[in-house]
């Protein structure tokens, strides 16, 4: 999928938003690793607030970029296919099947701390879009603008100070239209669909591959513990999981790695990365540099390949 197709998805979603669509709202609660979707009745002004959210976040001409697991924080709107991340389609299936969601808020009302977000299903007779976003407490909404509403057994409505209260942040997480996901907040997207835990699982398989080459990749005993302190770095290892033979191939290019470390271009960048006559000596303070090197970021900009070039695998 490319940026042109992603832009087309946004344009098609705009047509839906402009067609005076219906809106169904689901609260998404997580408890003991179980994810539950709870249907909430809402009134016209609250329905309109979710239409407004979409218009605020997606109807402009923001730059678009392909979502990648190892990319840094970005102001771009990102895009991916929902099938690439299993929990996304699972969420859509639950929202679409009355047997898989709860048509009451009775339990959720008593446990609003379980609620981690919402999905607004925006639809007409022919098209459907799913808009995801975050919820919060009254105190958290005082710091950031958003919608505050009361939660009853079956509906959400305007404020009554005697009733349980929930907040909906103004900014959204992402929307899904025609099996394509357009992402506004990368962090919240990963939190919403549990991607960090998925990344950790993949990262642990990659750590084992490093350990299979322990003569070259030395002193890895604390690697998992160090990653758990900085979970955002799971993504970097998960990216390596797509081309696992790279780990072994790089171990045969020690001379080239030394050239990179000594070169004027990368000397400062890799100053904390320790190399001996057998290979790389891992240390926690060089974790980011180690993962950066393993993801071949230096090589991507080198045309000649004479400093370091581990053969790439087909993805």
pLDDT at 280 over 90: yes
Q: What is the average pLDDT across 190-217? A: 89
Residue 298 predicted with pLDDT over 60: no
Which range has highest mean pLDDT (10-19, 26-35, 246-255)?
10-19
Q: Which residues of 18-55 are buried (b: 16+ CB within 10 A; e: fewer)?
A: eeebebbbbbbbeeeeebbbbbbebeeebbebbbebbe
Q: What is the pLDDT of residue 302?
A: 40
pLDDT of residue 204: 93
Higher pLDDT, 167 or 146: 167
Report the pLDDT averaged over residues 61-77: 80
Q: Give the pLDDT mean for 268-279.
A: 92
Residue 315: which pLDDT band, with cuts at 50, 70 and 90? very low
Q: What is the mean pLDDT of the chain?
A: 85
pLDDT of residue 305: 44
* Confidence grade of residue 301 (pLDDT, cut at 50, 70, 90): very low
Task: Please say whether the beta carbons of 119 and 130 come within 8 A.
Answer: yes
- Please say if the pLDDT value at position 38 is more than 90: yes
Per-residue confidence at 207, pLDDT binned at 50, 70, 90?
very high
Question: Within its chain, how far is the Cα of 81 from the centroid?
Answer: 13
Phi–psi pair at 143, nearest 5 degrees: -85, -30
Mean pLDDT of 137-162: 66
Confidence band for 137, pLDDT divided at 50, 70 and 90: low
Split at pLDDT 50, 70, 90, the class of 223 is very high
| Residue 77 tokens, joined | 């709107």
0.75 surpassed by pTM: no
List C-alpha distances in Å: 112 to 13, 117, 121, 269, 280: 31, 11, 21, 46, 49
How far is the C-alpha of 221 from the C-alpha of 228, rounded, in Å?
A: 13
Q: Is the pLDDT of residue 37 over 70?
A: yes
Instruction: Give me the pLDDT at residue 269, please.
Output: 87
Overall average pLDDT of the 140-168 stretch? 69
pLDDT at 118: 96
pLDDT score of 307 more than 80: no
- Identify the weakest region by mean pLDDT among 73-82, 231-240, 297-306: 297-306
Q: How far apart are the first and last CA of the chain?
A: 15
């Amino acid at each position: 999928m490319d940026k042109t197709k992603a832009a087309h998805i946004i344009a098609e979603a705009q047509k839906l938003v402009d067609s005076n669509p219906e809106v169904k709202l689901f609260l998404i609660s997580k408890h003991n690793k179980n994810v539950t979707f709870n249907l909430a009745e809402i009134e016209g002004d609250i329905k309109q607030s979710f239409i407004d959210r979409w218009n605020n976040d997606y109807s402009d001409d923001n730059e678009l970029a392909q979502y990648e697991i190892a990319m840094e924080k970005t102001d771009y709107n990102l895009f991916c296919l929902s099938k690439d991340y299993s929990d996304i389609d699972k969420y859509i299936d639950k929202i679409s099947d009355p047997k898989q969601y709860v048509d009451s808020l009775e339990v959720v009302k008593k446990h609003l701390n379980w609620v981690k977000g919402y999905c607004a299903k925006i639809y007409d007779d022919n098209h459907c879009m799913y808009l995801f976003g975050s919820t919060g407490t009254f105190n958290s909404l005082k710091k950031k603008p958003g919608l505050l509403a009361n939660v009853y057994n079956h509906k959400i409505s305007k404020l009554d100070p005697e009733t349980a209260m929930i907040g909906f942040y103004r900014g959204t997480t992402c929307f899904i239209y025609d099996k394509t996901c357009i992402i506004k907040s990368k962090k919240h997207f990963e939190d919403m669909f549990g991607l960090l835990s998925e990344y950790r699982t993949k990262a642990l398989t990659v750590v084992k591959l490093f350990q299979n080459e322990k003569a070259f990749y030395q002193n890895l005993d604390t690697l998992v513990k160090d990653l758990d302190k900085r979970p955002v770095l799971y993504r970097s290892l998960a990216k390596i999981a797509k081309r696992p033979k790279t780990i072994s191939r790089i171990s045969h290019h020690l001379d080239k790695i030394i050239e990179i470390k000594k070169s004027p271009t990368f000397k400062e960048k890799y100053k904390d990365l320790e190399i001996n006559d057998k290979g790389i000596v891992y240390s926690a303070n060089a974790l980011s540099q180690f993962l950066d090197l393993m993801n071949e970021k230096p090589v991507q900009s080198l045309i000649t390949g004479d400093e370091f070039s581990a053969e790439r695998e087909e993805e």
